[in-house]
Amino acid sequence: MGAVRDEPVLTIETNISAFIPEPGSSYLFGTSVEERSAHSAEWESRAAGVHFIRLTDQQGAFFSVEMMGQQRKVLLRSREQLVQFWKDIPSDVVYFDITGLSHHIWAPLLRVGVSLKPRIIGVYVEPGDYRPSLTPTEGEIFDLSERILGIAPLPGFASLAESTDEDVCFVPLLGFEGTRFAYVMEHVQPPGGKTVPIIGVPGFRIEYPFYTYHGNRAPLTESRAWRNVRFARANCPFSVFYALQDIAATYPRDTLKIAPIGTKPHALGAVLYAMATLKPVELVYDHPIRKATRTAGTSRLLLYQLSALPLAGSRA
């Protein structure tokens, strides 16, 4: 089992009441049905000289945004439109709050943005709590997802590399939903012995790693992948980034198929790794539709110095 590295210096923990974006910066964000993604007018008023940019319409192949006094749509699979969007942001320092953004929105945006802005600071707000299921079953102890849309690449992250079944190492980044782990594993069908799960340790709360093991017990046991579990801090993308580097070194000839089905910071780490490495990587994502009441309240706020990493893939 992998050990947890020391706290990366690129992640800073704070709280919403203590955090104020620096003057002259831009703050890029979206809101969802979750309380933790919403900003109060009082909080925004304390951030003097900050340009707030809100993304809406996150369900399809585009997002909407009001910029320069005009409402416009940006196609997620159009690099030209994504480049122009970043160029129109009137700041060199951009806070990129992924809390209320879906994976298929923030991942392609980040891939393009890191090559255009000298400093991008990721922002993520942990939930105060996850809502337990009223009818818990093995693999679904929390009431998190309505349904799964199906396996499809994140925009900008389609894999062109060919690999045989035996040349694959499957790396699921686990959350509480064992049904999602089983679903993605059925799609990937990894070779025996080369499934290397990553579990968030420490978790957002001290008991969360135990919930992760419990929720994923069946697929972990059936695949015997419990023998290969690695750990990375649940709220730190750089911790999982380093864990993925270690796994790639252990399986140097294999394509890593990474399933970001756990925490959003872990998904961010997977995207950063895919952008930084020159090795074949595929992000396997199942695109869940989230429950409106999946979380309650807010907890810690995390700041990530994203521009500090050399991201080779961002130039593609």
Cβ pair 186, 172 in contact under 8 A: no
DSSP assignment of 252-274 equals TTSEEEEEE-S-HHHHHHHHHHH
**What pLDDT score does 309 carry?**
83
Cβ pair 142, 131 in contact under 8 A: yes
Closest to 234 (Cα-Cα) out of 282, 194, 269, 196: 269
pTM higher than the cut 0.75: yes
Residue 199, burial from CB neighbour count under 10 angstroms (0-12, 13-18, 19+): buried
Of the pLDDT bands very low, low, confident and very high (cuts 50, 70, 90), residue 313 is very low
Closest to 306 (Cα-Cα) out of 43, 78, 112: 112
Query: Domain residue spans in the chain?
Result: 11-129+296-315, 130-293
**What pLDDT score does 44 carry?**
82
Of residues 3 and 116, the one with the higher pLDDT is 116
Q: Does the domain at residues 130-293 carry the CATH identifier 3.40.50?
A: yes
Cβ pair 65, 56 in contact under 8 A: yes
Closest to 209 (Cα-Cα) out of 176, 242, 243: 176
Q: How far apart are CA 25 and CA 90, in angstroms?
A: 8
Q: Is the dihedral of CA 267, 270, 274, 280 positive or negative?
A: negative
Q: How far apart are CA 174 and CA 145, in angstroms?
A: 15
Where does 189-291 have alpha helices with state H? 208-215, 217-223, 237-250, 264-276
pLDDT in tens, 180-228: 999 999 999 998 889 999 999 999 999 999 989 999 999 999 999 999 9
E strands of the chain, at which residues?
11-14, 26-30, 51-56, 62-67, 70-75, 93-97, 119-130, 132-137, 140-142, 145-148, 168-174, 198-200, 230-232, 255-260, 281-283, 288-290, 295-305
Distant-in-sequence contacts of 20-23, Cβ < 8 A, 24+ apart: 20/46, 20/47, 21/47, 21/50, 21/95, 22/50, 22/93, 23/48, 23/49, 23/50
Distance, C-alpha 199 to centroid of its chain: 14
Q: How far apart are CA 300 and CA 69, in angstroms?
A: 33
Q: Average pLDDT of 131-141? A: 61
pLDDT in tens, 41-52: 777 888 889 999
Distances (CA, A) of 193 to 58, 218, 221, 229: 38, 16, 12, 11
Of the pLDDT bands very low, low, confident and very high (cuts 50, 70, 90), residue 315 is very low
Hey, what are 100's tokens? 């209320």
Q: How far apart are CA 113 and CA 82, in angstroms?
A: 8
pLDDT in tens, 152-186: 888 888 776 666 667 999 999 999 888 899 999 99
